[in-house]
Each structure stands twice: as structure tokens, then as C-alpha cells.
Amino acid sequence: MQSGAGIFFDGKTSARHDVTVTLGAGSLVISDHAGNVLANWPYDDLMPLAAPDNVLRVGRRGNDVLERLEIFDPTFAHAVDVQAVHIDRTGTIQRHQRGKVIGWTMAATVSLLLTAYFGIPALAQRIAPLLPVAIERKLGDAVDMQMRSMLDTGKTGAAFECGKAESQKAGRAALDKMIRRLEGAAGLPGPLRSTVVRKDDANAFALPGGQIYIFRGLIDKAETADEVAGVVAHEIGHVVHLDGTKAVLQAGGLSFLFGMLLGDFVGGGAVVIATRTVLQSSYSRDAETAADAYAAGLMNKAGGNVRALGTMLARIGGATEPGMKILLDHPETKARVAAIEKFASAKSTTPFLDAKEWAALKRICAG
């Protein structure tokens, strides 16, 4: 059944609205009888609420307006139930909630025991490799919102992200082409997501789950597309090695560990702390060396120029991520560049972008 009747409370008034609920491609569409859409809830956001046995009552996750929807027809309620990943598919809502409480209690106990035994840093190291991709992505999403508002210090809002405006579309297409080529060579479990932001530092960084931020400053400083690709490959290395995931788990501490076990990230304070840590701290030298080695291997696999990463690192003093110290002409940077050069193959390489595409990428934040 693709649609059915429901009762909708908008959370602002106490009025009950008789509505038609339609199961859309990715969301639940709630409309009045005149066809006006009152609400559109992505299935991922649906949250079961306590209700009597014969009613399916759902709300929307993270919604402070307290809208809710009630469905009485059991057949249609079941159809909604099946679409909503967060709603218990087999049992009643009561059982779901009871299970949740038990889950939280167990998670809390297990986390406390593990933390007492290993300490948070070691625990983060051990748990990160066990995370399913979907949970890792959720962890990244929880940090991502906060990340955007922390990065956007000038409060420019939508304009903060480059590649959205009509005149920047060609630049965005060029970046997508570059990333698809790296992604194809890397054989990752899920697609990467990338965002170019108006920040002047020559930085990039990766969030858990594969969201990569590229600062405009990095594209400005790069002289070839392969130099940008090299740094993106280095960030993919951090994604594959779970460096961001470990850092976020470590900084977010217990709240994240609980949330992770239940697939539900709560605790705004933990998100803020974790985000700040990711932005301000740097990975260990070993993690950087490993990401460089991964990047060099990936550039080779993708048929790109490995040396371009070394050239770029030398130019930006090795500080690929925001928390790193710029070490221009420093022995550490020189050692990294030398280590990368060792990977350079004698085979001929194909530039990631042609001249026209590269020019478009250079202008991804213009206009």
C-alpha cells in the first residue's frame, strides 16, 4: 500500500489534522486533503514514539517542534514500519523501546568496563576497525554539521561552499572527475563525498565515513591537478586507515561509544568537542607517513603523478590538515617528500584533468 490515512499534529497547535500519508521514494509525505504538503520526513529520520497497542505513532528525529503522526490502519502502519529503518520491523513499539533501554544499559556497562580496562585512546583504536561502514558514516554526519559551522567563521552560510553556483559548476564537475578516478582505483566500500570551502589555508581533511573537505587555499596553491589529487589521495589514506574515526571516537569519549553501539548519536557536547579536536589537533607522525604511502600507492594505481604529492607537500610545508604545523624546508617534510618519491614509477602518467578542466577547478570558488 503506497498511501493511507493518518492523523498529524504539527506540534505548534493542539489541532489534529486528518492527512494522507504517502510512501515516497525516500521519505514519508504528509499532506492535507487539499493536497498541500504539511511535512516530508526522510525515512532515516523517523522515530517511534510510545503509543497504545493499536496505533503506530512516529515523530521525527532531532525535531524540536514535536510534530507527530499517528496511523491506525494496521496494514498501512506495517507498510510505514517496513520503510522506516529505525522502527522495529518485527515487534511492537513498546518492545522496541524496552529493547532500547536494555541496549543502552548494556552499552553503558560494556563501555565503562572497556574504558576502565583499556582507557579511551586505546579503546578508540580497537573499536574503530570493528565499525560497520554505515555507523562510521553516521559518526561522520554527526560531526559534519558542527564542522561546517565551526569552519564558516565569517558566517557566510550557503556561499561558504564552492561549486554550487552556476558559474562554478564546471569546476565542480572537474573535481568530481578527479575524485571518481581516485575512488575507482581505491576500491572503497562506499562513495566519497567532497566539499570545497572558502578557507584560505592550503588544507584538506577527511571525516569518518569518507567526507573530504578541500580548502580553497589548497587549490589556489596547487600548480597542477595532480597536486590536488595527491593531497586528496592522502586524505583517502586517512579514511582507509580510520584516522579520523579514531580521533572522533577518542575526543567524543563515552557518549560516542554509547551512541555508536546503538547507531544513534546523541550528546551535542561530545559532538562539539570531537569536532574541535579534529580541527585543532594533528595525527601522529606515523599516521601521516602511512597516509603518504597510501596516497603514493593510490596515485600509481590511478595512473597519476606520484611526485606531484611530494611537490605539493614541500610547497605547503607538509601541513595537509588544519591542525598541522607548517614545516617549510624542514627535515621532516624533506624526509616525507623523499619517501614519496621512492614510490614514483617510471611509467608514463595521465594528468587527472586536461587544461580546460584544471582552469575550471581553479575557479571553483570564483564569481
Q: Are 322 and 279 in contact, with CB atoms under 8 Å apart?
A: yes
Cell of 260: 555508536
In this complex, which beta carbon is closest to Zn ion, that of residue 136 or of residue 292? Answer: 292
In this complex, which beta carbon is closest to Zn ion, that of residue 111 or of residue 320? Answer: 320
Footprint on residues 34-63 left by Zn ion (CB under 5 A):
none
Footprint on residues 163-202 left by Zn ion (CB under 5 A):
none
- In the complex, the smallest distance separating the C-beta of residue 321 from Zn ion, rounded to whole angstroms, is 5
- In the complex, the smallest distance separating the C-beta of residue 71 from Zn ion, rounded to whole angstroms, is 49
- In the complex, the smallest distance separating the C-beta of residue 237 from Zn ion, rounded to whole angstroms, is 7
Q: Find where cell 597516509 sits.
A: 291
- In the complex, the smallest distance separating the C-beta of residue 3 from Zn ion, rounded to whole angstroms, is 50
- In the complex, the smallest distance separating the C-beta of residue 234 from Zn ion, rounded to whole angstroms, is 6
In this complex, which beta carbon is closest to Zn ion, that of residue 63 or of residue 289? Answer: 289
Q: How far is CA 82 from CA 2, 35, 332, in A?
A: 12, 25, 55
- In the complex, the smallest distance separating the C-beta of residue 293 from Zn ion, rounded to whole angstroms, is 11
- In the complex, the smallest distance separating the C-beta of residue 328 from Zn ion, rounded to whole angstroms, is 17
Binding residue count for Zn ion, defined by CB under 5 A: 3
In this complex, which beta carbon is closest to Zn ion, that of residue 135 or of residue 319? Answer: 319
Task: Fill in the per-residue mask, 307 to 326: x = in contact with Zn ion (CB under 5 A), - = not in contact.
Answer: -------------x------
Contacts of 108 (CB under 8 A, 6+ apart): 258
Amino acid code (one letter) for 114:
L
Cell of 269: 557536547
Q: Find where cell 561502514 sits.
A: 133
| Options 135-143, 246-254, 289-297, 302-310: segment touching Zn ion (CB under 5 A) | 289-297
CA quadruple 128, 132, 134, 138: dihedral positive or negative?
negative
| Options 54-62, 64-72, 170-178, 280-288: segment touching Zn ion (CB under 5 A) | 280-288
In this complex, which beta carbon is closest to Zn ion, that of residue 267 or of residue 323? Answer: 323
Identify the residue among 46, 178, 271, 291 touching Zn ion (CB under 5 A). Answer: 291
DSSP readout, 303-352?
A: T--HHHHHHHHHHTTT--STTSPP-TT-HHHHHHHHHHHTT--SS----S
Told to check if 295 binds Zn ion by CB under 5 A, we report no
d(CA 259, CA 142): 11
In this complex, which beta carbon is closest to Zn ion, that of residue 245 or of residue 320? Answer: 320
| Residue 356 CB neighbour total at 10 angstroms | 10
Length, in residues, of the chain: 367
In this complex, which beta carbon is closest to Zn ion, that of residue 143 or of residue 360? Answer: 143
| Residue 277 CB neighbour total at 10 angstroms | 16
| Residue 65 CB neighbour total at 10 angstroms | 11
Contacts of 167 (CB under 8 A, 6+ apart): 363, 366, 367
In this complex, which beta carbon is closest to Zn ion, that of residue 70 or of residue 243? Answer: 243
Task: Fill in the per-residue mask, 116 to 145: x = in contact with Zn ion (CB under 5 A), - = not in contact.
Answer: ------------------------------
- In the complex, the smallest distance separating the C-beta of residue 361 from Zn ion, rounded to whole angstroms, is 21
Q: Which of 173, 161, 164, 180 shows the shortest CA–CA distance to 361?
A: 173
The residues binding Zn ion (CB under 5 A) are 288, 291, 320
